[in-house]
Chains A and B, each alone.
Chain A
């Protein structure tokens, strides 16, 4: 058995002229909660479709739980749980009938897990699906997905549009229900507060490329926030190494910088900057700066600029 839950190598997918995934190589170890973060259109859904063998790659390789995606066995497909933001369910059916139907497809179905997870949400089994609130639908879907005892659970923005209470129940059920400990969870979200609380691994995708794969703490260590008096930086944004964002607040330059470490202060000195200060950066601020920038690998390495 492969030690990886997911492995892709140089995976590329083009739709006409547009590439949805570009030379994408990612390995996700088994177990734990992994967050995938990226703007809309970053390629997350394409990645899942390729992994599940729904689409075929233009080039490259991908595998799921050790099997090549284009030839997944039915048995292996049964080990993958999937919950997306739409929480699509047949409106005319009752909760208990949907559950029975779902259960009949999954030989590993576990009643205890179902009951335990569904208890986090106030779902009446006799209710029609159409009468469920958005939060109850989400909870019911999660209960069914976990009762299948999947080896891999994919959650694609599952808490989108849920109120605070429903969101909290969802995260609690996900983290604390006594479920399959071997399960790997992949969680896509735009809610940085959620990601900060639950993820032990942070994957960032932008424009079909992988731009970060590390622990959330190591990611934060890549980003630094500098403040300085330095008029020389005006109009030179494309020359500032690792620049994510530059704002001027009360005449001072506020810079968010990636991958330059503390040496960046030398660069600021070299530009004639005065009153150089480094400020702390929160996880949310770091991710947002990273995502909102049309981020490229810094082309000007600091050493080149300083020479």
Chain B
């Protein structure tokens, strides 16, 4: 039997995002950062529900949405896996996602006393590290 990966995600109650959305965001982040690589097996509904202390049907709802987006795929009899072919976004979708991420970045950093040069430098370094991690 293939062992499933441990998801480093946590949910909080009282958040404005419903729990299934928090799971989706958590898994997206795990995949995006490469901590969860293509082809890794995801925990079962029940397993993740037990880890997060929530109803297994909520996990099923999150997994269903990720399957619809083709981020994860089911292999009958084996379980759910991170899709080996990650979905490609068209140009408009890519731009929209980038704009949103830049907005978030600016919101978080605007009150910090860093010059533009330093922030851009840090960003470049992080991207370099991420690329190395993905190649490794």
Q: Which residues of A contact B (CB under 8 A)?
A: 32-33, 168, 171-172, 175-176, 192-193, 196-200, 216-217, 220, 280-285
Contact = CB atoms under 8 A, between A and B. Distances in A.
B18 A217 contact: yes
Nearest to A193: B13
B46 interface: yes
A200 B55 contact: yes
Contacts of B19: 196-197
Contacts, number: 48
B14 A198 contact: no
Contact of A33 (B16, B50, B55): B55
B54 to A, nearest CB: 5
A29 to B, nearest CB: 13
Interface in B75-118: none
13 contacts: A172-B50, A175-B49, A176-B46, A176-B50, A193-B13, A196-B14, A196-B19, A197-B13, A197-B19, A198-B54, A199-B55, A200-B55, A200-B58
Contact of B13 (A176, A200, A280, A284): A284
Nearest to B19: A196
A284 B14 CA distance: 6
A283 B49 contact: no
A32 B56 CA distance: 10
Given A282-B16, A283-B18, A197 B55 contact: yes
Contacts of B49: 175-176
Contacts of A172: 50, 53
Interface string B28-69: 000000000000000000100110011111100000000000
A193 B53 contact: no
Nearest to A175: B55
B15 interface: yes
B52 to A, nearest CB: 8
B60 to A, nearest CB: 10
Contacts of A200: 55, 57-58
B14 A193 contact: yes
Contacts of A175: 49, 53-56
Contacts of B50: 172, 176
A194 to B, nearest CB: 9
Of listed B18, B19, B50, B54, residue having the most chain A CB within 10 A: B18
A216 B18 contact: yes
Nearest to B17: A280
A283 B57 contact: no
Contacts of A284: 13-14
B58 to A, nearest CB: 7
A282 B19 CA distance: 10
Given A176-B46, A193-B13, A200-B58, A217 B53 contact: no
Contacts of B20: 217
Smallest CB-CB A-B distances: 9 pairs: A280-B16, A193-B13, A196-B13, A217-B18, A197-B54, A200-B57, A282-B14, A282-B16, A198-B55
B53 A283 contact: no
A168 B19 CA distance: 18
Given A176-B46, A196-B19, A168 B53 contact: yes
Given A168-B53, A171-B53, A197-B19, A283 B13 contact: yes
A282 B13 CA distance: 8
A275 to B, nearest CB: 18
B129 to A, nearest CB: 32
A32 B57 contact: yes
B59 to A, nearest CB: 11
A193 B55 CA distance: 13
